[in-house]
């Protein structure tokens, strides 16, 4: 059947098992052949087979979002300066009304145009490092973020906000914490990471409140101590409702859900506080303020981009040749079961693979290999003293006993220790910036 071009606003009627339905919206490139896809005003898409459509009409020609920037957003000279460092992600996304895809293609300057309430909280400068999907980010990008934060602080900014895709935001936040506070100091100003679980074209987007809260924190939050997880923070929705964003320690937080607004939670740690966001864009910080005792770090530590860490997950498909392959890497991070265990015993006499695993681990560690244990359980400590197997693993040379560092921050911490040529065993037992606290929370 013939139909209007993508980008036109249309009204269509289609037959469904529940009866006829009528929708209005912008016609997109079809999700499948011989189908029509329409973006509704609430941001969601609906798709129907052409054979199901009984009527379609054009309401108006292509109506695309206004791309004109408002360069006249007033700036209050009395407000503190913060930088928004843009790396990409859903917080800075637009829908392509021809293809229907959500693409990360906001320029940083568009953020202020899209959310003029930001000007209430700070004088904003923007830096664009890229429009990367967060799963493409590597250590070189951590370093680039840290260079940008240093530039911001050197230029007089009191804080920075790094807009980031949510899928790996917790890795980058941990990297910032170790870079600025891992050697015993604290950053010159506040560093907040934020993103959005819902793209900006959807009515349920959380990006606006997250960004408002992060900017307010960067401009008006307390001075970071560097030792309780506040060297960098993640600021995202505290629950599924609007109005409150949690301030979470950057070195002990992870993304726990693929799509919920409140996807981020602490690992063995509680939120540092809340930023309450009003309907008019006003914000209020609620948290306990601590007095810093560390000296300010003037330059962040860089990560050695040549370091390679092999991550292996304990289970029925772990084999000795995986350990043997580790000779190409600088260290192994084991994601063990429970309190930190690997399949290295053959109590029934029917699993020679486990015996081979034990030998491979022993050979690796004996030859100078670095092996560290974290738990697949996410929460809780590594405790390789409880069971005999755990004690045997320690004798083989596996490190990490008693640590409470979460598995994601552990990867970054191991990279940091290798980058700075520190003794991994001593460094692993230390609490460098709040990642390895002594208290365990449910």
Which CATH number fits the domain that encloses residue 29? 2.30.30.520
The answer to the question of residue 366 being in a domain is yes
**Quick check: is 157 in a domain?**
yes
- Active-site position among 39, 255, 389, 413: 255
Q: Which of 87, 90, 208, 297 is catalytic?
A: 90
Q: Are residues 279 and 148 in the same domain?
A: yes
DSSP calls for 62-122: --PPP----TT----TTSPEEEEEE--SGGG-EE-TTT--EE----HHHHHHH-GGGGGT-
- Please tell me which residue in 94, 150, 167, 413 is annotated as part of the active site: 167
Confidence of residue 25 (pLDDT cuts 50, 70, 90): confident
The model carries a pTM of 0.85
CB burial of 94-123 (b: ≥16 within 10 Å; e: otherwise) equals: bbbbeebebebebebbbbbbbbebbbbbbb
Boundary (domain end) residue, out of 257, 287, 317: 287
Give 59-115 pLDDT, tens digit per residue. 887 655 554 545 567 789 999 999 999 998 767 556 666 555 555 555 666 777 778
Which of 221, 252, 287 is at the close of a domain?
287
Active site residue 90: yes
Same domain, 208 and 160: yes
Of the candidates 37, 163, 166, 168, the residue annotated as catalytic is 166
Domain end marker among 256, 287, 318:
287
What's the number of domains the chain is made of? 3
Do 19 and 152 have their domain in common?
no
Same domain, 318 and 267: no
To the nearest whole percent, how much of the chain has pLDDT over 90?
71
Domain shared by 194 and 314, yes or no: no
Domain with 18 in it? 9-60
- Residue 4 domain flag: no
- Do residues 277 and 207 both lie within one domain? yes
Residue (of 87, 83, 276) closest to 171 by Cα position = 87
Residue 255 a catalytic site member? yes
Query: What residue spans of 182-265 are helical by DSSP H?
Result: 207-220
Residue 222 pLDDT > 60, yes or no?
yes
The verdict on 340 and 385 lying in the same domain is yes
Same domain (yes/no): 32, 166:
no
Residues 217 and 316 in one domain: no
- What is the pLDDT confidence band of residue 36, given thresholds at 50, 70 and 90? confident
Q: Is residue 90 domain-shared with residue 153, that is, in the same domain?
A: yes
**Residue 419 parent element (H or E):** helix 407-419
Instruction: Tell me 1's DSSP state.
Output: -
What is the domain-level CATH number for residue 369?
Answer: 3.40.50.40
Least trusted range by pLDDT, from 17-26, 153-162, 231-240, 327-336: 17-26
Residue 96 pLDDT: 61
DSSP-assigned beta bridge partners for residue 245? 237, 275
Q: What is d(CA 207, CA 235) in angstroms, rounded to the nearest whole number?
A: 11
Distances (CA, A) of 371 to 177, 288, 338, 363, 432: 23, 38, 17, 11, 19
22 classed as catalytic: no
In a domain, 152, yes or no: yes
Sheet of 233-237: strand order equals: 123-128, 81-86, 159-163, 190-194, 233-237, 244-249, 273-277, 283-287
Number of H helices, E strands in the chain: 9, 20
pLDDT at residue 404 above 80? yes
Please name the helix (run of DSSP H) or strand (run of DSSP E) that holds residue 428, with its range, or none: helix 424-429
Q: What is the mean pLDDT of residues 156-162?
A: 98
What pLDDT, on the 0 to 100 scale, is given for residue 95?
Answer: 61
Nearby residues of 68 by Cβ (< 8 Å), 6 or more positions away: none
Mean pLDDT of 197-208: 68
pLDDT in tens, 409-442: 999 999 999 999 999 999 999 999 999 997 654 4
Average pLDDT over the chain, rounded to whole?
Answer: 90
Known catalytic residue at 304: no
- Residue 3 inside a domain? The answer is no
């Amino acid at each position: 059947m013939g139909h209007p071009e993508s980008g036109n606003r249309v009204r269509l009627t289609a037959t469904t098992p529940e009866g006829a339905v009528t929708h209005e919206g912008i016609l997109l490139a079809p999700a499948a052949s011989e189908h029509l896809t329409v973006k509704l005003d609430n941001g969601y898409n609906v798709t129907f087979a052409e054979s199901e459509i009984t009527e379609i009409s054009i309401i108006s020609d292509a109506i695309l979002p206004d791309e004109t920037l408002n360069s006249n957003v007033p700036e209050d000279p009395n407000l503190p300066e913060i930088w928004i460092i843009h790396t990409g992600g859903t917080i800075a996304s637009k829908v392509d009304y021809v293809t229907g895809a959500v693409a990360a293609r906001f320029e940083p300057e568009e953020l202020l145009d899209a959310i003029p309430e930001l000007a209430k909280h700070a004088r904003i400068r923007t830096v664009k490092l890229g429009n990367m999907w967060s799963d493409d980010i590597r250590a070189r990008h951590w370093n680039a973020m840290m260079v940008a934060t240093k530039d911001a602080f050197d230029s007089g900014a009191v804080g920075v906000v790094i807009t980031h895709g949510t899928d790996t935001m917790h890795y980058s936040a941990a990297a910032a914490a170790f870079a600025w506070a891992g050697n015993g100091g604290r950053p010159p100003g506040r560093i907040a990471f934020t993103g959005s679980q819902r793209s900006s074209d959807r009515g349920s987007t959380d990006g606006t409140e997250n960004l408002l809260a992060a900017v307010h924190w960067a401009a008006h939050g307390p001075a970071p101590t560097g030792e309780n997880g506040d060297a960098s923070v993640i600021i995202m929705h505290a629950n599924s409702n609007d109005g409150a964003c949690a301030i979470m320690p950057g070195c002990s937080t992870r993304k726990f859900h693929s799509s919920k607004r409140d996807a981020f939670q602490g690992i063995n740690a509680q939120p540092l506080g809340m930023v309450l966001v009003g309907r008019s864009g006003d914000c209020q910080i609620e948290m306990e303020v601590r007095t810093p005792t560390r000296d300010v770090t003037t330059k962040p530590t860089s990560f050695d981009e040549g370091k390679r860490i092999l991550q292996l997950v304990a289970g029925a498909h772990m084999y000795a040749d995986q350990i043997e392959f580790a000779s190409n890497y600088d260290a192994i991070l084991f994601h063990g079961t429970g309190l930190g265990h690997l399949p290295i015993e053959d109590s029934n006499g029917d699993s020679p693979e486990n015996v081979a695993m034990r030998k491979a681990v022993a050979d690796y560690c004996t030859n100078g290999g670095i092996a560290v244990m974290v738990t697949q359980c996410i929460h809780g400590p590594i405790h390789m003293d409880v069971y005999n197997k755990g004690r045997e693993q320690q004798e083989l040379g596996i490190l990490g006993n008693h640590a409470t560092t979460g598995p994601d921050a552990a990867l970054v911490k191991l990279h940091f220790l290798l980058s700075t040529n520190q003794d991994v065993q001593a460094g692993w037992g230390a609490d460098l910036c709040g990642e390895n606290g002594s208290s365990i929370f449910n």
